[in-house]
Amino acid sequence: MIRINENYLKLNASYLFSEIAKRVSAFQAANPDREIIRLGIGDVTRALPQACVDAFHKAIDEMASDSTFKGYGPEQGYAFLREAIAEHDFKANGADISADEIFVSDGAKCDTANIQELFSEDIIIAIPDPVYPVYLDTNVMAGRTGKFADGRYEGIVYLECTRENGFVPALPEKPVDLIYLCFPNNPTGSTITKDQLAKWVDYAKKNKALILFDAAYEAFITDPALPKSIYEIEGAREVAIEFRSLSKTAGFTGTRCAYTVVPKNCVAYDSEGNAHNLYAMWNRRQTTKFNGVSYPVQKSAAAIYSEPGRTQVKELAAYYLKNAALIRESMMALGYECTGGVDSPYIWIYGKGTGSWDFFNLLLEKAGVVCTPGAGFGRCGEGYIRISAFNSYENVQKAMAKIKEALK
């Protein structure tokens, strides 16, 4: 008989954002006349930059003619996009990354989920708490954890992120093999300094570990002292894989384009301690399982790095950061402790002893505002909510006025 992968039975019954959608739908059905402002799921609301739109149209026109039509492209991505990424996202910031170490994909969520296929089932994994659910859930699906009990999975080393440590976790007390880090952080909005990040690189080198570094929100960093890439840290090429996304950078949530960087000297080990090149393994994985991102999408993505594209992308990030500043200032004026909202589009708010889902329900029912309950990101997220800056400034103003009225 056909059998299931029983690791799926360990998963929580509902994915966080599916549960939020279900609750919002139920509220809307019961209150059809109430306006709802969504500041929960981090989906963007502004149109693609004009440079990207123009490039998209031009590429579509190319696809309409036999002489310029493009069929299957390279699984790793077209050279014109990879070269632009290497030049502007890495070399311009002092990071030694070449174009052929960049793999273009249809989403950082997919890549952070798929990358774990390269590693043994019995490795020791360190994952922050609170955390973006995909890191944890995909390892549960792969069988690297025990049962779920008391809000955590057996077999995982949890890196606790709290008010006391500024939501930047301490190094593990025991050796681990695979480490997930995300900065600027989702969900807490916290950032990491170069000195703090260097300690993680040193730890990984000492313990022959690997860091999976999610830099999906680097476009929101305005402080020049903060690292935009882990490869700004000496030695990181040997022990880190980095993930980037154009979803928030340039509004590609519905267009789908991202990339993963796997340096050629980044290695992992077999059971006998022999080093193996992760670049070659990931390349093989992608050429076997992925047919690449469409030509028009990649042409649109490459336009981000044109002179007008760079200006428009900065304006887009500045718009959402203006929203974030308003949310942060408004919540702090109401007496709530906040992290993020500076160099990050997320604001992490302590509920003064109110439970996460209770706070979520309060804002939904009394203010008509959707946030994300912190408990959905892990045990350390209980008592917090996350508010996203991805909406119009007018809606954010309206939401903050409604929240003020609901919480006074």
Q: What confidence tens digit (pLDDT) does each residue in 56-71 have? A: 999 999 999 999 999 9
Asked if the model's pLDDT at residue 179 lies above 90, the reply is yes
Report the pLDDT averaged over residues 6-12.
92
Q: Which amino acid is at 378?
A: G
Asked if the model's pLDDT at residue 18 lies above 90, the reply is no
Q: In whole angstroms, what is the distance from residue 363 CA to residue 348 CA?
A: 15
Residue 348 — left, alpha, or beta (φ > 0 → left; ψ -120 to 50 → alpha)? beta
Q: What are the structural domains, with CATH classification, of the chain?
A: 8-47+308-407 (3.90.1150.10), 53-306 (3.40.640.10)
Chain segment 275-311, per-residue pLDDT in tens: 999 999 999 999 999 999 999 999 999 999 999 999 9
Contact 166, 340 (CB under 8 A): no
Report the pLDDT averaged over residues 162-187.
97
- Nearest residue to 15 via CA among 188, 186, 153, 133: 133
Chain segment 299-342, per-residue pLDDT in tens: 999 999 999 999 999 999 999 999 999 999 999 999 999 999 99
Report the pLDDT averaged over residues 200-220.
98
Chain segment 215-268, per-residue pLDDT in tens: 999 999 999 999 999 999 999 999 999 999 999 999 999 999 999 999 999 999
State the pLDDT confidence band at 13, using cuts at 50, 70 and 90.
Answer: low
pLDDT for the residue numbered 319: 98
| 407 CB burial (10 A radius; 0-12, 13-18, 19+) | middle
Report the pLDDT averaged over residues 150-158.
94
Chain segment 96-118, per-residue pLDDT in tens: 999 999 999 999 999 999 999 99
Q: In whole angstroms, what is the distance from residue 182 CA to residue 132 CA?
A: 9
pLDDT for the residue numbered 16: 85
pLDDT for the residue numbered 397: 98
Asked if the model's pLDDT at residue 361 lies above 80, the reply is yes
The residue assigned the tokens 């995982």 is 156
State the pLDDT confidence band at 130, using cuts at 50, 70 and 90.
Answer: very high
